[in-house]
Amino acid sequence: MNKANIGWWEADLKAETYKCSELISQLLGIGEDGLISFEDFNKRILKEDQGYATFPSFDKVQQTVEEIYLFDTPKGHVWIRSKACFQETDENGNTKVYGIAETQEGIHIASAHQALQNSERILHNI
């Protein structure tokens, strides 16, 4: 999936960490174990995109299923589209959310997508 610029992530709500695929780990410049805290992950999203970022806990505030973020990475600024695919809770009440992410080519794609999402939010609030 690396050649397709697609990776996966797993959010552990109890530990407040993401476990990321090799592609995402390399993009974010994190260790081989692919672990990053929600807090450190959110710090990598550029400030102008913070309003649309993931939240510290999926169960406290519902995350939009699909978003595009502009990340500050060791390789420079990179647009990443992230999609939450499913959520499960084990017998002990620990919840995990699983998703995919892909790098986006060109700012125009990401800008158009963000504009569409903003319009949908406005319409939803009417």
> For the chain, which domains are there?
2-124 (3.30.450.20)
End-to-end CA distance of the chain: 40
Q: Any idea which residue has 């499913």 for tokens?
A: 86
| Residue scoring higher pLDDT (32 or 118) | 32
pLDDT digits (tens, 9 = 90+) for 61-85: 445 578 888 888 888 888 888 888 8
Three-state SS annotation for 44-73: CECHHHHHHCCCCCCCCCCCCCEEEEEEEE
In the chain, % of residues over pLDDT 90: 38
Closest-CA residue to 5 (of 79, 73, 76, 70):
79
124: how many CB neighbours lie within 10 A of its CB? Answer: 7
